Amino acid sequence: MSVATNASGGTESGTQPKRQRTMAVESMACIICLDCEGDMPARCEEGHAMHASCFEAHVLAKVENLRRTDYVAAKAETAHIAGDTFTLDALSGACSCPLRGHGCAARAFGQRNLAMLLSDKAFDAYSEGKRVLPIAREVEHALAHGSALSLMVPNARMCGRCNYGPVELLNCADLTAHHGEVRSGTGAPVSNACPNCGWFADNIAAWPMWTPRPAAEEAMWAAVHAAVDPAAVAERRAREAAERAAERAAARDARSERARQHHQEMMRAAALHPLA
């Protein structure tokens, strides 16, 4: 026996065609695990829904992938020149819908939204991911700075033990003459030892002429140079700690607000539909 259909494609009993029912179910499923059950608070601008646990796993996977990416700064520059916002967002640590680039054009999730959706651990990981590109750019700058120094200080010396350099040893060839001397107004004793490993030689002639090294090594000594100033290091660490603390506090506040709103919605629903 055949069943007649109406003009809209449904059966006479008003049921939807199988394809429409399937699409309706798919639209309600988590786009990561494809499960329709449970709350799905994470939604991109185009409405693609995800369970909180699935979304958090997606964020953590993206961060780990970014950490393992080579030449982040160079790839970001290439993406910027090409106008490739999708790649640039990914390299900058932004969190986008898993379907972006596969039919979804939604923008990346905002930080406030992420703070409401993610646990403290996941939000910290996301924050670390956001720092990958800036750090990569700093290293790239250090590489360029090191190459320039090799031209600027052709008479520089380097440590005879660890090859730390470039070091300028000026005015006096006798390195014992003022070593350990405390000068007025400074408080810190004069040191003619290697600031990296502590190696000391009596005469400037014992310090080899500085030889420019591969870029990776130059980046290393540039980082050591930056770390020589304890005050600058302490200030940077304190600033980073304060930023992280502020981000975690914002995440907690956002999640509390979301929980409060959810509770209010449940109370309103209970008032409209009281139990018999």
Q: Which residues pair with 72 in a beta bridge?
A: none
- Could you give the CA distance from residue 8 to residue 27 in angstroms, rounded to a whole number? 21
Eight-state DSSP code of residue 49: E
Position 52 scores a pLDDT of 92
**Exposed, middle or buried: residue 259 (CB in 10 Å: 0-12, 13-18, 19+)?**
exposed
Position 20 scores a pLDDT of 42
Pick the range with the lowest mean pLDDT from 53-62, 87-96, 241-250.
Answer: 241-250
Pick the range with the lowest mean pLDDT from 17-26, 141-150, 207-216.
Answer: 17-26
Tell me the domain boundaries of the chain. 21-153+210-272, 154-209
Report the phi/psi class of residue 199: left, alpha or beta, with left for phi > 0 and alpha for psi in -120 to 50: beta
User: Which residues make Cβ contacts (< 8 Å) with residue 119, sequence separation at least 6?
Assistant: 56
pLDDT at 89 over 90: yes
User: Would you say the pTM of this structure is higher than 0.75?
Assistant: no
Contact between 92 and 224 under an 8 Å Cβ cutoff? The reply is: no
Q: How many CB atoms lie within 10 A of CB 209?
A: 11
Most confident of 97-101, 118-122, 187-191: 97-101
